[in-house]
Structure 1
């Protein structure tokens, strides 16, 4: 026969799922931050180029 699931087992699996989702979301935040900072630098370099080559 199958053994009954302990009372704290569903809580533990839900906690593991929550932690996995939190880790995934944190990774997305770092990726978006990296793209944002990269974009700011691209804009800055284009502006520097435009000012230096303006007549």
Structure 2
């Protein structure tokens, strides 16, 4: 393994990790809003 190859591999792994963090954040925020809308619906339509 040359240093260049190691650097390329590290950058690829870093990009992959960053993408996973963004996906996690997106799902997390979507989930929170989904739950909030369900709660608002439940409260508004409660007898």
Unaligned runs of 5+ in 1: 1-8
Unaligned runs of 5+ in 2: none
1:21 paired residue number: 13
Indicate the RMSD between aligned Cα atoms, in angstroms: 1.1
Q: SS of the counterpart of 1:13?
A: helix
Report runs of 4+ in structure 1 exceeding 6 Å deviation: none
How many residue pairs are counted as aligned between the two chains? 47
Counterpart Cα distance in 2 of 1:21 and 1:42: 31
2:36 to 44, 49, 53: 44
Q: SS of the counterpart of 1:54?
A: coil
Name which one, 1 or 2, has greater alpha-carbon Rg. Answer: 1
Counterpart Cα distance in 2 of 1:27 and 1:46: 29
